[in-house]
Structure 1
Amino acid sequence: MTAVAFVCLAAGLLVAVVLLIRQQQITARFRRRANELEETARVRDEELRHLVTVRVPALVESLYGKPVEVPGPRNPSFAETSAEQGIRAILRIFAEHAERAKERADQSAKATLKAMMRAVQSLGNEQQLAISTMQDRHDDPDVLEGLMKIDHMNAQLGRRAQATAVLCGSWPGQQRSAASLIDVVRGATSRIRDYLRVQVPPQVNIAVVSRAVEPVVLAVAELLDNAARHSQPNTTVEINLRQTHNGVAIVIDDAGVAMDPEELQRAERLLSGRESVDINRLGDPPQVGFAVIGVLAARYGFRVAVDSRSPYGGVRAVLFLPSELLTQVATGPTPVHAEPRPEPIEAPAAPPTPRSPVSPPAREEKTTTAHGLPKRRRVTATGNGTGEQPLPSVGAPASSTRPARETAAGMGAWQRGTRAGRSIVSPDSEGNVAE
């Protein structure tokens, strides 16, 4: 009996020990599980705070076009959890809906602006016609001087309206014949306020094809305006033309403030034309120049780049026209689309007439026929008949060779003489002069 009892007691003790060990293992496992759950809850709370304070604000910033990278989870162990997958899905849905809302708002704003600019352009054209009519009718020097100032201001207003319309998806709005490259540069110069500071290069035997004339004029005008506005008024803006094996480059150098790396990066994005431009993110007031140039470059096939390698310490802008946008024209003193009225751009108070944006300013030299009738031969404003204008020295402002009043007085006298000759002297059908 004693032996049996001992065996039973030993068996009972063994069972108790086994149960105790198993209970300790279960307790330890539950304790580890509780610790894991507690750590998971702590990490999840940290990730939620990280989501609210860092990830969502970064996502919002990136939706506004700023170069901000949306960060991932703070704890690497949280990256593959179902909770993180749910957070990513929420962020993706939020970004998609915000992007669609942004696109709808941008399209609505562009449509509204396009309609407004269409009305402004129409009024500007009517105003230009009225100014031109008045310039033909009046020969008083003071009146002509004022009309030429208004004419130039109207050209700048038209360029701004045209640029805004292009940015909103409209076309440049003017179709022209192929024009020589120098006429394109001069036409662009006539559309900016500080046109006298621009050094125009001499004539070259290269022309821009018809469909690209107006876009290139507008793009060069925006680059010149940017160069003039960001440099001192006593400095010049220099234009050079450089031919390459596959095109020609229009190089614009100013002596203004250079651009920092962040500004250059932003300019590169806008000038590439690869990204859709949100007009709500162009600043206050909106800076549309580079954005408009990028739209035109992508649409018509030329390239534009800016950097801080100008030899004068400012910014260098290069507009490259490939061979498919170029053609050949004969050089000579006759300008393309020349106006029959003189346009002296050398006078500071007498800006060039923007109605013919691809025409160099010109005057008419009169001679007399065998019958005593006035005979006119077109020459350039410089009077040398070469089609070239003298270039001012680099670093010095362009100067006027004649006072504005004297130029306007000469124009008035020319118009009075023309009208008097037409009213008094007229040939009959046989070529005789009738008094």
Structure 2
Amino acid sequence: MTNSKLISRRDAAVARGLASAYPIFVERAENARIWDVEGRSFIDFAGGIAVLNTGHRHPKVLAAATAQIEAYTHTAFQILPYEPYIALAERLNALAPIDGPAKSVFFSTGAEAVENAIKIARAATGRAGVIAFTGGFHGRTHLAMSLTGKISPYRDRLGLGPAGIFHVPFPCQADGVSVEDSLKALERLFRADIAPTDVAAIIIEPVQGEGGFHSAPDALLAQLRALADTHGIVLIADEIQSGFGRTGKMFAIEHSSIRPDLITVAKSLAGGFPLSGVIGRADLMDQAAPGSLGGTYAGNPVACAAALAVLDVIEEEGLLERASLIGARICERLEGFAKSETGVRIDGLRGSGAMIAFDIIDAEGRPDAAAAKAVALRALELGLVILTCGIFGNTIRILVPLTVPDDQLEDGLSRLGTALGKDN
């Protein structure tokens, strides 16, 4: 089988609305390496969009999933419940930076987690309004895409979202938006569009994912917490991309002093198996009526078993500390690339732990999405998988597995340097 033949089959059989970044079809993968159907090897700096913090096919995760498969694969928790679901909820409730007793509920996708977090907030407050931020990404389902602060490609030509959703500018130095600007916009919103007493929730990514890996400033988070407390609003931290060790903390919100009311999780939670969830204050979580939460495959037992193993791996292999070490090495190499006068222009190096990004700009300092795409394609030719993101499409993000061997990390960074046209 060849990639070209599979591309033809894909074009004939798969809906056009589902895009793939690269015309490469995977045959197998191991830790931070991928092999395609033509036998070529790639170093994975994408991690399935932050799903593989513990790498492809971690032995302990596979062993846990296999043992569960041999026992049973599905009953639907709302029909016949099972212990792995409860055990995972107990582990996450103990780990989450939530004030007071916590409870959890599980789903299959990140968008489901977001939608159900909003449902919980609405049930708890009796209100409908929701405030999100420009540049944020919260999923592709109808409500989630409406919360997402980027039109193309997530909302383009797909109709208007439900009423009661509002966006506030996210503070970003590159965009000329300060924390003060964001807070003034929020104040204007409360005066002109929706009263705070009609707002059920404020949802924010502690580190924006698709928006370009911009961290929410501590000053903003502190003010959001104060506003939420004053007006009885539920504060939701969307940790779907930033959670489970990626930033050097179990949850990125732990880099700040504030504690959210609800946390949405997914991606690296189950090491590649589809699983998501909402963790939150028990008094809020219990406001949704029995039967109002759940789903046929929600909290699948195989995924729950895998997630328990993921949490073990993060602890046993010291992946929180490993993330910080990996991030420091990536930044060191990127700082060197930025100083080089050859190749494309690099700006805005940023990140937390091993959640690192930088921008590609033109000679006038403007975002250069075409150059970023060219770099990504050149990296693929060199055997390195990277991703672009950002509201202008000119950001390159690095989401290498936290289990990557040092030699593969260095090899990948050298290939990235070559793709950028830099001296290595």
- TM bucket (normalised to shorter chain) is under 0.3
- Using structure 1 for the length normalisation, give the TM-score: 0.22
Larger Rg: 1
Structure having the larger proportion of residues in helix: 1
Structure having the larger proportion of residues in strand: 2
Identify which of structures 1 and 2 has the higher relative contact order when contacts are C-alpha pairs closer than 8 Å and 6+ apart. Answer: 2
